[in-house]
Structure 1
Amino acid sequence: MKLCDTCNELFDDDKDLCPVDSVRLADAGKSPFIGKYIDDRYRILAFLGQGSMGAVFRALDETTSRQMAIKLLHGSRVADPNSRRRFLREAKTISSLNHPNIVKLFHYGLLGEEQPYIVTEFLKGESLARRIRDKGHISLDEALPIMRQVLSAVAEAHRAKIIHRDLKPENIVLENEIVKVLDFGVAKLMFERNEQSGSLTMDGKVCGSPGYMSPEQCRGEELDIRSDVYSLGVTIFEMLTGKRPFYADDVMGLMFMHVNRPPPSMNAIRVDLPFPNGLEAAVRKSLSKTKFERQANAEELLDDIEMALSKFEKKKDSAAVASSGWIPFDDASTKAVHMALKDSQFAITTPQEVLNIPESQLREDTAHAEQASGKKDILSAGSKHRFNVFVFTLVSAFLMFSALKLVFPEQPPPALSTVEELITQGRTAEALQMLDKIKRQKLKPQEQTYVDDLLFNLGVRLAQAKNYQGAADSLLRVSKNSEHFAKATNLGKRYRKLSEN
């Protein structure tokens, strides 16, 4: 069969042009479902592909004239009444997801008694997998908005207690600037629960794609949302480097590596693409072998990535300012200088204004200035000269002071240096006591920020060492004005509960 993409009509294979629109016909594929109706509403137009979950078709919703995607899922799992009820219950839950980066599930049902189907929006973009193949890897600037949208979508599903179970670049579609995540919960629709292990299986196979499966998924254990965090880590790793963290000759070898091998560094995989240390740490944490050591959900992974890149951008901006030699003036300083020199014989202009003055005008202004100065008495000229020298000295002193502050930034107080030494030596209790004493002093804003950063980083480090009591004590000391306060408070409460168990 052949399909006209303009009028959505099907024609026999012997036709090349649509008799109605005179446009070239496209191959609709070979399937007995083409041209048939589903639920007396969706007319199947073309066969799009076959996957492990079933066949995918392009269809037309006759009630809205909107193109849709229909997935006819393998029916062997809904042969009994209990399985059919489970399919309908899970599909209803998934259809409740409403997020701009999640492909919407509009309709679901059963053809006859054993053929499940789902109807979703039809996408015309390319998969992230194709983009990675075409480009070799995705640059950090291009990858960041993709990561934000994907993680935002998965976070929404996690809040609804829905686990994707099969996150990978093939299930992420890019439509211009919009990113869509496909197949939320479809794995759970198709795989039945093993009552002994709690895992999902189909025909003896564990649910998931081996290249992106978490260690617990490889072991066939019951999953929670942290399994998705691991799959997201693999996806981000591949997107940025062009390679997955693990490769093997067979599926069992690959699953063994997920369970036992530590992931390589992204910087080691691509020495030509230096990644910020904070980003490297966030991705490495998401790939932890133990789910308790990963980010708790997709939202926390996004927070870690955003924080890492924010600090990286601040460092780049500071380095750019320092290397340029330019000392920035705020509006108040600029106004003060202009007012001080307002009545002097020298005019303050911007560099651009100087460049725009014609050479003839400069010569004319110079001649007028010399003629006017010759008519003034010596005493008056001397007074103005002394005034200009005074103003010039004042401005020079201001510039020198600003330059010294830029070149020699304020160092933390000696006591904070001592705290750092204590932390390095592992004497965290003494470090926290000293930080308490320092916080009772009247600190400058930059000193308070420094203290809060120390407390936050110390808490994270202690949590990684599974010292949950120490981590909670450190994180809950972060001040309310800190950018880390909300996250530190949430983590601190969580680690306190873990320490009490």
Structure 2
Amino acid sequence: MYCSRCLRRFEDEEHRFCPYDGTKLVATPDVSSLRAKPTPETGVVLGGRYEVRGLIGRGGMARIYLALDRNTSEPVAIKMLDSLHLRAPGARARFDREAKAANALAHPNIVKVLDTGERPDGVPFLVMEYLFGETLGDWLRRETTMPLHLALPVLSQTASALGAAHRAGIVHRDVKPDNLFLVGEPGEPYNTKVLDFGLSKLEAAKAVTQAGVAVGTPEYMPPEQVVGDKSDSRSDVYALGVMMYRMLVGELPFRADDYAVLLARQLIAPPREPSEAQPGIDRATEGVILKALRKKPEDRYSTMEAFCDDLERLMGKRLGSLSAGLLPRGPDVYEPKDQLSRTAAKFFYNKLGMTPPAWK
């Protein structure tokens, strides 16, 4: 059942009226009331059942369309690879990875992929649940910071979702605000959904990208990804730590107009302490952020579950002391794992005018 005003969805049939605003619930939302930009694809029926109603978003290599599922009369979102990128190296592989990841995951905080298909001209598409709300990226561009009482549930739900992915052997590798959807009215999210496993990596499989090539979003990229070393679940821990910093401080821990300089700072520079940038942040919260942002993966939270546990302790939902505790002493310097990544690291040290360490 749906509320046509706040767009909340209720799985049970106990409610006749929305408990939040009193609006009478309906079995399915009116697709015609949803905003979408008309395009040449409008009216096209995909897979014999999904009637495209218009464009609702776009990314680097794909477009998102609103569609009506003729079998259920419910709205769905269709992610379609842009035809311009159909022959781009790795583009189809990213789409296939996202579909494979979706089939391996079932979690309330991960967007559901309902179906997959291919247009007659070979363009692949994913059919996903339609979400009502906005991305965390949209929120932060409007509000700059998120209050702690809203931020912690968003972060803990995200950590729970990523933990489930990690247990299935999947590393997201592109955790960022634009890949996090806040379900509900703007300003009042009540659920969080992790989006876009297009850069995800099955830990037991070989990466599709070339060795030594960094993939991801520079502002949220951990040191091991910067130099092309192997990513694991702790890489997502780092990215979520950057996101926590951005949500609570109102700025990124590392910034630069030049992407190479930005990546160099991710690899080498210590972050400014959150409480220095935003005095209202308490020491316990700061400790959790800084543990997630350690350069050495072994000094971060060892699992996303451990990160989630500390977030729940900050919320008062879990007893015990924070596992963040005291940060390890000594320099926090990432050590590249092979000759190729050491060469990449030397480039970034030189970019900051620094002498690289004498790695073994």
Question: TM-score, normalising length from structure 2?
Answer: 0.71
Give matches, 1:291-306, under 5 Å: 291-306=297-312
Q: In the alignment, which residue of structure 2 is the partner of 1:57? A: 65
Q: Cα distance, 1:95 vs. partner?
A: 2.4
8 Å contact kept, 2:253–2:271: yes
Contact 2:158–2:193 (8 Å) recurs in 1: yes
Match 2:208 to one of 183, 193, 211: 193
2:129 is aligned with 1:121: yes
Contact map agreement 1:216 1:222 (CA 8 A) in 2? yes
Structure 1: distance between partners of 2:243 and 2:93 = 33
CA contact (8 A) 2:158 2:192 kept: yes
1:300 deviates by 1.0
How far residue 296 of structure 1 moved from its aligned partner, in angstroms, is: 1.8
> Following the alignment from structure 1 to structure 2, what is the Cα–Cα distance between the partners of residues 267 and 45?
47
Unaligned regions of 5+ residues in structure 2, if any?
5-31, 185-189, 332-360
CA contact (8 A) 2:97 2:198 kept: no
The alpha carbon displacement at 1:76 in A equals: 7.4
Q: Deviations over 1:379-414 (max 9, x none)?
A: xxxxxxxxxxxxxxxxxxxxxxxxxxxxxxxxxxxx
Q: Contact 1:212–1:231 (CA<8 Å) still a contact in 2?
A: yes
Equivalences for 1:42-191 in 2 at 5 Å? 42-74=50-82, 88=96, 91-112=99-120, 114-176=122-184, 177-183=190-196, 185-188=197-200
Mapped to 2, the partners of 1:252 and 1:307 lie a distance apart of 37
Q: Residues 247 and 461 of structure 1: is their aligned pair in 2 closer, same or farther, counting only changes over 3 Å?
A: closer
Contact 2:145/2:250 (CA < 8 Å) preserved in 1?
yes
Q: Secondary structure at the match of 1:284?
A: helix
Residues 238-257 of structure 1 mapped to structure 2, 5 A cutoff: 238-257=246-265
**How many angstroms apart in 2 are the aligned matches of 1:462 and 1:180?**
31
Cα deviation code 1:98-117 (max 9, x no counterpart): 11111101111332464221
The verdict on how the C-alpha distance between 1:39 and 1:286 changes in structure 2, with shifts beyond 3 A counting, is same
The residue that corresponds to 1:336 in the other structure is none
Per-residue deviation at 1:276? 2.5
One-letter amino acid of the structure 2 residue matched with residue 64 of structure 1: T
Corresponding letter in the other structure for 2:142? D
| Structure 2 counterpart of 1:233 | 241
Quick one: distance in 2 between partners of 1:259 and 1:465? 16
Q: Structure 1 pair 37/248, CA: closer, same or farther in 2 (3 Å)?
A: same
Structure 2 equivalent of residue 290 of structure 1? 296
Aligned residues between the structures? 292
Residues 25 and 127 of structure 1: CA distance in aligned 2, closer, same or farther (over 3 Å): closer
Equivalent-residue separation in structure 1 for 2:97 and 2:59 (angstroms): 23
Hey, what's the Cα distance between the residues in 1 that align with 2:84 and 2:304? 33
CA distance in 2, matches of 1:169, 1:279: 19
Alignment partners' CA distance in 2, 1:25 and 1:139: 31
Letter in 2 for 1:296: S
Aligned partners of 1:129, 1:78: CA distance in 2, in Å?
27
Amino acid corresponding to residue 303 of structure 2 in structure 1: N
Q: What is the CA distance between 1:132 and its match in structure 2? A: 2.3
Q: CA deviation at 1:195?
A: 5.2
Q: 1:130 to 1:138 in 2, by over 3 A?
A: same
- CA distance in 1 between partners of 2:112 and 2:71 (Å): 18
Give the deviation of 1:307 after TM superposition. 3.4
Return closer, same or farther for 1:89/1:130 CA change in 2, 3 Å cut-off. closer
Correspondence for 1:262: 270
Q: Which amino acid aligns with 1:33?
A: E
1:117-171 Cα offsets, whole Å, 9 max, x none, are 1111111202212222333311112212212211111111111111111111111
Which secondary structure does the structure 1 equivalent of 2:170 belong to?
coil
SS at match of 1:63: coil
Bigger Cα Rg: 1
Choose between structure 1 and 2: higher helix proportion: 1
Q: Cα offset for 1:75?
A: 5.8
Give secondary structure in 2 for the equivalent of 1:187.
coil
Check whether the contact 1:60–1:66 (CA below 8 A) recurs between aligned residues.
yes
Report if the CA contact (8 A) 2:211-2:228 is conserved: no
Query: How has the CA–CA distance of structure 1 residues 270 and 77 changed in structure 2, closer, same or farther, with 3 Å as cutoff?
Result: same
**Unaligned runs of at least 5 residues, structure 1:** 6-23, 200-205, 315-448, 467-501
Q: Distance in 2 between matches of 1:304 and 1:72?
A: 38
| Aligned CA-pair RMSD | 3.5
CA distances 1:69-115 after superposition (whole Å, capped 9, x unpaired): 111124677759x9968854762342231111111011113324642
Deviations 1:199-243 (A, max 9, x none): 6xxxxxx42111111112222232111111111001111111111
Give runs of ≥4 in structure 1 deviating > 4 Å: 24-28, 74-80, 82-90, 308-311, 459-466
Mapped partners of 1:269, 1:180: distance in 2? 29
The answer for the alignment partner of 1:31 in structure 2 is: 39
Write 1 or 2 for the structure with the bigger share of strand: 2
Structure 1 residue identity aligned to 2:159 = L
CA distance in 2, matches of 1:284, 1:292: 13
Which deviations, in whole Å up to 9, do the C-alpha atoms of 1:343-376 show, x marking residues without a partner? xxxxxxxxxxxxxxxxxxxxxxxxxxxxxxxxxx
Are the equivalent residues in 1 in contact too, given 2:94–2:198 (CA < 8 A)? no
1:216 counterpart letter in structure 2? E
